[in-house]
Amino acid sequence: MTGERTEPLRVLIADDHPVYREGLAMVLGSLEGVTVVGETGDGLEAVEQAELLRPDVILMDIAMPGLNGVEATRRVRAALPDTQVLVLSMHEGADSVLAALRAGARGYLVKGATKHEVARALRDVADGGAVFGGSVADQVLHRVQESGRTTRRGAEAFPDLTDRELEVLDLVAGGLSNAAIATRLYLSDKTVRNVVSLVLTKIHARDRADAIVKARDAGLGG
């Protein structure tokens, strides 16, 4: 923690459900020491509003038009390193949580969190902390442990691959299409195609089928 905050906490809300967004703005606006500086229901607009308003924290939904919350988070964090992102979403699966964290989010709450839980989480992430609500923490821990085992297996067999490339290869070996991988990792189809192509080159695979055989021989795709 960085000490007691003297200025109001400036919050931008990004959620594509108007009733929920407006209700959340009303609740947060009633809290002492919190100022809602803007609202938006579009991911691309969230990035634009963030650059204009420079909030301390963005409450970010995952599923939004224009740009999903994960990619919006990635862009915000690249452009505004002092602005933190707290994801507040209906999705509590480990895939969406980890995608948000990789993009730079500092916390993840599921909708249904109480006013006090959201207020405390906002202040914690603004002060550099990390927050996970409900069952999210257990899911993240389990997935990180599984990912660690996959990374260790893959790193031994394919030392030239990055962690991201190993993750993609593991999903390829599991039979997922590029589109399915893009959806699971919250990446664009083009990004996944580029990563897969690079992986095939690095592991000297003739094609995708050959890559799957090599990966499964190394214990990936399970």
68: CB partners within 8 A, 6+ apart: 43, 62, 186
Please tell me the least confidently modeled range out of 52-56, 98-102, 144-148, 154-158: 144-148
- Give dist(CA 218, CA 215) in Å, integer: 5
Q: Are 144 and 116 in contact (CB under 8 A)?
A: no
- Give dist(CA 176, CA 217) in Å, integer: 17
Q: Are 108 and 133 in contact (CB under 8 A)?
A: yes
Q: Indicate the pLDDT class of residue 204, thresholds 50, 70 and 90.
A: very high
Q: What is the pLDDT of residue 88?
A: 87
- Give dist(CA 58, CA 70) in Å, integer: 12
This prediction's pTM = 0.70
45-104 residue pLDDT tens = 999 999 999 999 999 999 888 889 999 999 999 999 999 999 988 876 667 787 888 889
Share of the chain above pLDDT 70, in %: 86
Topology of domain 148-217, CATH: Arc Repressor Mutant, subunit A (1.10.10)
3-state secondary structure of 39: strand
Topology of domain 9-137, CATH: Rossmann fold (3.40.50)
- Give dist(CA 172, CA 11) in Å, integer: 39
Q: Hey, which residues does 86 pair with through a beta bridge?
A: 59, 107
Q: What is the residue-wise DSSP string for 53-92?
A: H--SEEEE-SS-SSS-HHHHHHHHHHH-TT-EEEEEES--
What are the residue ranges spanned by the domains of the chain? 9-137, 148-217
- The DSSP element (H or E) to which 9 belongs, if any, is strand 9-14
